[in-house]
């Protein structure tokens, strides 16, 4: 799998699937989650409410259609909240593994991803980047290209370090 980095807004980059760093309630919120919900439109939220009335636990992933976003699907992952004490790296790894599992089920070849848990959930940037990149590299998948959309310079730098480390 090719891993690429972009400084673009994740809601503007065409792909088969967009990965959303979601709140466990799956009803939108701040950061990437809020931006994806705003760009996806009202039907997007309605689908989440209908299909996942109770949300989904930390470390898991679910999917919806993409509404008005430039993708066919959105894969919603619930990352651990480092600030609130959810510091087990296995929870963050499972977000990426589960996103790839769903991507394979949906026959996704290209996907865009945020830095799950590295924003308002406070996971340290370099650790989040290392876990994300290593998990994508080690997980068997049919996804051909994964593009991390990183608008914050600190995250772009951390993911640049992580991708260079494995080359």
Using H for helix, E for strand and C for coil, what is the string for 52-103? Answer: CCCCCCCCCEEEEECCCCCCCEEEEECCCCHHHCCCCHHHHHHHHHHHHHHH
The residue-averaged pLDDT of 127-147 equals 98
List active site positions.
Answer: 33
Q: Is the pLDDT of residue 167 over 80?
A: no
DSSP designation for 112: E
Cα angle at 112 between 111 and 114, to 5 degrees?
140
Question: Within its chain, how far is the Cα of 106 from the centroid?
Answer: 16
Radius of gyration of the chain (CA): 14
Residue 127: CB atoms within 10 A of its CB come to: 17
Contact 80, 90 (CB under 8 A): no
Query: Tens of pLDDT along 56-68?
Result: 999 999 999 999 9
Q: Could you tell me the CA-to-CA distances from 25 to 3, 121, 140, 143 in Å, in that order?
A: 29, 15, 29, 27
Q: What's the pLDDT band for 43 if we cut at 50, 70, 90?
A: confident
Q: How far apart are CA 115 and CA 79, in angstroms?
A: 10
How far apart (Å, rounded) are the C-alpha atoms in residues 146 and 19?
10
Apex CA 65: angle with CA 148 and CA 78, to 5°?
55
Confidence of residue 8 (pLDDT cuts 50, 70, 90): very high
The share of the chain scoring above pLDDT 90, in percent, equals: 94
- Ordered structural domains, the chain, with CATH: 2-165 (3.40.220.10)
Cα gap 127→57, rounded to integer Å: 22
The pTM of this model reads: 0.97
Q: Which residues have a Cβ under 8 Å from the Cβ of 102 and sit 6 or more positions away?
A: 61, 62, 63, 75
Instruction: Enumerate residues 6+ apart whose C-beta is below 8 A from 50.
Output: none
């Amino acid at each position: 799998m090719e891993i690429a980095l972009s400084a673009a807004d994740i809601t503007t980059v065409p792909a088969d699937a967009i990965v959303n760093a979601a709140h466990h309630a799956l009803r939108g919120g701040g950061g990437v989650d809020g931006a994806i919900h705003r760009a996806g439109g009202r039907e997007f939220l309605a689908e989440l409410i209908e299909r996942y009335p109770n949300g989904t636990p930390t470390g898991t992933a679910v999917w919806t259609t993409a509404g008005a976003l430039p993708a066919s699907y959105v894969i919603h992952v619930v990352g651990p909240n480092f600030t609130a004490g959810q510091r087990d790296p296995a929870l963050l790894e499972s977000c990426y593994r589960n996103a790839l599992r769903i991507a394979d089920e949906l026959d996704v070849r290209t996907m865009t991803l945020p830095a799950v848990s590295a924003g308002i959930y406070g996971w340290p940037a370099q650790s989040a980047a290392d876990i994300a990149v290593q998990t994508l590299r080690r997980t068997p998948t049919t996804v051909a290209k994964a593009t991390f959309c990183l608008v914050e310079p600190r995250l772009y730098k951390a993911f640049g370090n992580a991708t260079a480390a494995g080359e």
